[in-house]
Amino acid sequence: MRVVVAEKPSVARDLAKVLGATQRHDGYLEGNGWQVTWAIGHLVQLKMPDEYDPVHKRWSMDRLPFIPERFELRPTDNKSAHQQLDVVAGLCKSADELVCATDAGREGELIFRYILDYAGCADRAHTRLWLSSLTEAAITQAFANRKPGSAYNNLHDAARCRSEADWIVGLNATRAYTVRYGGNGVLWSLGRVQTPVLALIAQRDDEIRVFDARPFWELRTRYRKARFRYAGERFREQPPAQVLLRQVTDQPLTITKLERRTESLPPPLLYDLTQLQRDMNLRHGLSAQRTLEVAQELYEKKLLTYPRTDSRHLSLDMVDPVRTTLGALRAWNAEALATLATYVAGAPEGERGPRARSKRVFDDAKVSDHHAIIPTGKIDTLGGEAQQVFDAVALRFVQAFLGDRVQDVTTAHAVSNGVPFRARGVVVTDPGWSQLEPAAPKKRKGKKGNDGDDRDDDGDDETQELPSLREGESGPHTPELHEGKTKPPRPYTENTLLAAMETSGRTIDDEQLREAMRGRGLGTPATRASILETLLTRAYLRRDKKALRVTDLGRYLIAIIADPMLKSAELTGEWEWQLGEIERGRFTRLVFVQEIVARIRALVATGMSPRNEHTGLGACPRCKADVIEGREAYGCVRWREDCAFRLPKAYRGVPLQREQVRELLFRGVLLRPVTIDGAQRVVCRTATGELIDLQPPSRDAQRPGAKAPPRQRRGKASGAG
């Protein structure tokens, strides 16, 4: 009997329909010589330490790090999943021919290989079905083109590395920090990817918290309804600006030079999962997790291709299918397709249709496991979020084959009584793809950037349409002095956080540069949404409308972590890149795991050991060197040189614990003794006047009105992920 293992029941039903397996059994479908069964996501998982040896039920620094010689598997805790696992494992062992049809990617490969391993037939020969669409034609073609499972051994190695590395780092770091700093019943959950993401948000929140808003003055004027700005730097002091204002008041403005150029802006690239999640969050407020769920539902309804992709291109063999799909989309939006037809009809002979942008859309070198997310051509009645996601993907697909947006950009230089001014205007001569672009969400006044130096404008000078100007003309103008304040960076939203995760925390606006950084991001397109939801569930983050803010619990966790291995976005991005290199056969699984093990051993040995009580407190507020614990006080390691920083172990009669000192150094604030519930406590005052209790926060200490998450027991959480 030939056995097919799918990842989900809905996919199994689609495969069975094509294969003619219509007889229903408990956990599988059968017919025409085929048995089609399914997993329910992950059916097995790595064992916990106490399942290797009961002595590990008690969390102790003496037993860390724990790294098994060989990782072993067990069924997940879900009872129905356990029953399905028995069915799938039995069919795999008895199959005459075995086909892996789990999702075509790293996690799908891991699900199938773990099942084989658990069933005791890890070396079982099989073929691999590689699907990017669930249409009948795509399934038939995939079965005809399936390859030996051994062709995907590198993918399997990368998947195992990811799973084992998350277990090693998450479990050992979680136990180490919980044992060391887990007072008041707090379980500190750490992970290879989630903790660097938390650190990114904590850093941004700190930048906002300590931001020092500074006033500035800017000289502006209006001439023939055009907005001009002073061509020099903005003024940090008002008097010099007032001098220039008086100099140009009642003086004519003369146009001295006009610079004109034509810009051609190509269509945006097709969607990968991350960009789709970003746009849906920006336009409709959908969370990354919800966007993924909706896209997956549309995939299973055969309306979209596979969503968990990091590619934004199509393969060259898709040119003809794309023509067919574009034709079918007339039933979705006849007006949009009429726009495309007009463009194609006006293109030079030989450049009409999808081939017109071969390298920007069709590029085999930029298609990895899956091509970009596009419609399949099937149209269905949708509504709500499903319609929003489908419309976004279909519209982007059509835009990719439209012409460039062409615009004339004019920069006008002017002078008034020796004071230079400049204005910029844009006139769109051919909207091209942008005529189908959805309207951007309205921006609030003065919220244009993240650099802490916003202009606080009352209009967008970059896109104004200038009147017809000529060099040498002169006339009256109305100058004014605009006063504003620099603004702090904006808090992360899911849109901007996904962009930061994609580039390991680096702010990169250029689309092509982001593409170059793609392999060195935090997590993968398929896992970023779940990482974010994990941080929210564990109450390390909270949502403030669209903004993501770190909670006191999350801030305290970052404060006690000294080792950059656990919170460096770039380091974790390098690990993710190495996993990609393993997939491509250019890096070895053994070396990757050895590096992870060496780092976690060093973390436990030097950063957490009771023999090194004096390490890891934080940075000296005077010279940024390490702060250590002495016999009578905490002080800078450079005390023998030139740094006199010293903090007594008792502040006004109240003893300071190491955790409190960490928090103090992390925030860089002043101490103040207070009485809370009749007991003396120490709090710190921030630069904004906020009083913060230095007692380590309990897990139940949530924001007002929020429901506290369920308390976790130490023996049940691995912290992996």
**CA 454 – CA 263 distance, rounded (Å):** 26
CB neighbour list of residue 567: distance below 8 Å, 6 or more residues apart = 195, 196, 198, 199, 558, 561
Nearest Cα neighbor of 532 from 194, 203, 276 is: 194
CB neighbour list of residue 141: distance below 8 Å, 6 or more residues apart = none
SS3 504: coil
Find the Cα–Cα–Cα–Cα dihedral 415, 417, 420, 424, rounded to 10°.
-40
SS3 508: coil
Q: Which residues are catalytic?
A: 306
501-512: burial string, b at 16+ Cβ within 10 Å, e else: bbbbbbebeeee
DSSP structure class, residue 105? S
Contact status, residue 226 vs residue 412, Cβ threshold 8 Å: yes
Within 77-223, where are the H helices?
Answer: 79-94, 106-118, 136-144, 153-181, 194-209
* Cis bond upstream, residue 268 (ω within 30): no
The rounded Cα 677 to chain-centroid distance in angstroms is 42
Nearest Cα neighbor of 43 from 94, 83, 1 is: 83
- Helix count (H) and strand count (E) of the chain? 21, 26
Amino acid at 466: L
**CA 321 – CA 317 distance, rounded (Å):** 8
Within 28-123, where are the H helices?
Answer: 49-52, 79-94, 106-118
Q: Which residue has the tokens 């990609």?
A: 580
DSSP string, 263-286: EEEPPPPPB-HHHHHHHHHHHH--
Instruction: At 108, give phi and psi (nearest 5°).
Output: -60, -40
Instruction: Please write down the HEC assignment for all residues of 611-654.
Output: HHCCCCCCECCCCCCEEEECCCEEEECCCCCCCCCEEECEECCE
Q: How do beta strands 2-6 and 97-101 pair?
A: parallel
Instruction: Please write down the HEC assignment for all residues of 514-558.
Output: HHHHHHHCCCCCCCHHHHHHHHHHCCCEEEECCEEEECHHHHHHH
**CA 662 – CA 173 distance, rounded (Å):** 18
| Residue 248: its H or E element | helix 238-248
